[in-house]
Structure 1
Amino acid sequence: MPAGFSRSIHVIATDGHRGSIAGAAIGALLLGGWLAWFFLARVGQYEASVSARLEVGQAAHRVEAPLGGRVAAVRLDLLGAEVAAGDVLVELDVEPLRRDIDDKRARLSAIAGQMGPLRAEIAARSQALRDGAEAARARIDEAKARLKEAEAGARFQEIEAARAVRLRQDGLVSEAEAARLAAEALSRRSATEALDRAAARADVERRTGQSEQQAELARLDREVASLDGERLVLEATIEGLLAEIERRKIRSPIAGRVGEITVLRAGSFVREGDVVAAVVPPGELRVIAEFPPSSVGRIRAGQAGRLRLDAFPWTEYGTLATTVERVASEAQEGRIRVELGVRPDPASPIPMQHGLPGNVVIEMERVSPASLVLRAAGQIVRVRGGADG
């Protein structure tokens, strides 16, 4: 065999041996690096929400119709319009109530027209009664004075007649004079009795007149009281009707932005309890997300997440950073409620507004790939054990 050929074979053998060593070294390095990554590296484990939604910190207020009726006017302008607390959003028909109020106000005016003359008549009759009572007392006093004077004259005349009878017996006075004095005494007594009867009759007439006038005054007072009672009832009824009119003005309970609108037109009907709008109060936005029950115990306050909005593809608009704030302890309808704070990015074109839907991905923990493999193997063993059992 030529010498050159032998040297070539030797060189090739030497190079092949060196290449095997180098390949083994590279393989060992790769294996070592992979093992280091497998046991020492940390990878994130994520949980995606079933649903998510941007909401303000305070719940939106649903505006409901307090009673049913026909729509007379709609004050809602546009979805998203700003409203103040107490702003009228919808007015229901109040025309029958207004007609009823007009009728009752007309009756009130009529009562006011009746009350004035009645009160004036009562005042006039009361004054006449007082004046008549004073005049009657004056007449009675005068009659009593005349009676007293007549009584004194009659008594004196009777004394004179008695004295004349005694003098007649003694023959000092003629029989004619004694008879004249007796007749005059009798006349004076009759006049006195007539005055007494006249005074008594005047007193009776005074009392009768006063009783009649007092009865008429009592009747007028009853009429005034009846009208006044009717007035109070009408005023209370009008107040109630005005309150009913106010109830038919559906107002915004809070200041905020109109988040939902029910399409209403003048002439349409709403039922009691129908939702006509929803007003979103001002406040910081948060994310309300729902996760499967398997997330219980794994999602905790302080964990970071990313919000992707359905209307704004994350590949184009990016995502919003979130942080878990509260986690429900029990599932409702098969889902766990999670509330997250959101940190808006001033440079992001995404509009931050209530009601935007999307989903949230939360980084549950960071573990090594070896741990993930072991967990997966444990789940497989449990599944197979359960199947064999």
Structure 2
Amino acid sequence: MRRARATEADAASRLAADIARRHVEDSEAGGVSQADAIRARADARRAAAVRDALAEDARRIATEAQSRGGRNSARREELERMRLALADDQASTTALATQLRIDIAGRVVRAPVSGIVADVQAVAPGAIVVAGQRLATILPAGDLIVVAAFDPANGLGRIRSGQRATLRLAGYPWTEYGVVPARVERVAGELRDGRMRVELSAARGAIRGVALAHGLAGSVEVAVEHVSPARLLMRTAGGALR
């Protein structure tokens, strides 16, 4: 808008100067009075002054706009640098938080199953606990697992999954309390401490007046085959003759 006014003022100034020049020429030729020529020259000077003022105002506004544009550009660049720095900080903080969550998860003790704590290892305060170290024994809900160790010379190749077995508890005479029916579930493929590990299943309420629980000791007999008394006698007699 100011530039248009400056252009208009410049045109008006040129027109006033041209009129003043003609009035002077006419005054010298005697066509107009000298007073009219003086007024025309004054009008031309005023028009020129208005033009110059508007032109200066337009230049000042342009300079200020350019300066503001430079400041705005610098501010935009500064804000962009700040945004990039904050994005880097956010990425670093996120990575640190993820690593801390991993470290915390690695220091949480979790049981593989839910159940009752049957045994707890003695660990002194400040002791180092490594991954996989057994800290406690958890008894899961459901049927009990009976663990037996057999002489491999008698058990290897003869004890198999699905065979029936009998558990007699130590301290509970079987003639009074009875025996616990069991069933072979798993047979270890490798020996441990020179013994063959066998796992059997047994029902909790399988014996009168005794609540089966972790830690009870006893003996296990596994039925590996069925033979008639006569064949057993012959087998025994044959062994005696040899």
Q: Aligned residue for 2:213?
A: 353
Q: How many residues align?
A: 237
Q: Alpha-carbon deviation of 1:178? A: 5.1
Q: Whose radius of gyration is greater, 1 or 2?
A: 1
Whether the 8 Å contact between 2:17 and 2:44 is mirrored in structure 1 is yes
Residues 250-259 or 366-375, more deviating: 366-375
Deviation at 1:369, TM superposition (A): 3.8
Higher helix share: 1
TM-score normalised by length of structure 2: 0.68
Q: Write the distance in 1 (CA, Å) between the matches of 2:4 and 2:103.
A: 69
Seen in structure 2, the aligned counterparts of structure 1 residues 259 and 296 have a Cα distance that, compared at 3 Å, is same
Letter in 2 for 1:269: A
> Could you say what secondary structure the match of 1:269 adopts?
coil
TM-score, normalised on structure 1?
0.47
Instruction: Give the secondary structure class of the aligned counterpart of 2:227.
Output: strand
Question: Counterpart amino acid of 1:197?
Answer: E
Paired residues of 1:323 and 1:342 also in contact (CA < 8 A): yes
Bigger mean CA offset, 370-379 vs 207-216: 370-379
User: Which of 243, 256, 263 pairs up with 2:122?
Assistant: 263
Q: Residue 56 of structure 2 corresponds to which residue in structure 1?
A: 197
Residue 261 of structure 1 deviates from its aligned partner by: 0.7
CA distance in 2, matches of 1:179, 1:216: 55
Shift of 1:281: 0.7
Using the aligned pairs only, state the percent identity.
27
Return the match for 2:234 from 344, 369, 373.
373
Q: 5+ residue gaps in structure 1? A: 1-140, 382-389
Which letter does structure 2 place at the counterpart of 1:361? Answer: E
Instruction: State the Cα deviation string for residues 199-236 of structure 1 (Å, max 9, x = none).
Output: 12321122213422553465366447646764675576
The verdict on how the C-alpha distance between 1:304 and 1:160 changes in structure 2, with shifts beyond 3 A counting, is closer
- 2:159 aligned with 1:305, yes or no? no
* 1:237 Cα deviation after fit: 4.1
Greater RCO, 1 or 2 (C-alpha within 8 Å, sep 6+): 1
SS state at 1:215 partner: helix
- What's the CA shift for 1:352? 0.5
How many Å apart are 1:160 and its aligned residue? 1.5
- Amino acid paired to 2:47: R
**1:362 partner letter:** V
CA distance in 2, matches of 1:326, 1:251: 27
Aligned match of 1:82: none
Root mean square deviation of aligned Cα: 4.2
1:258, CA displacement in angstroms?
A: 1.0
Q: Does 1:282 align with 2:136?
A: no
Deviates more, 1:336-345 or 1:207-216: 336-345
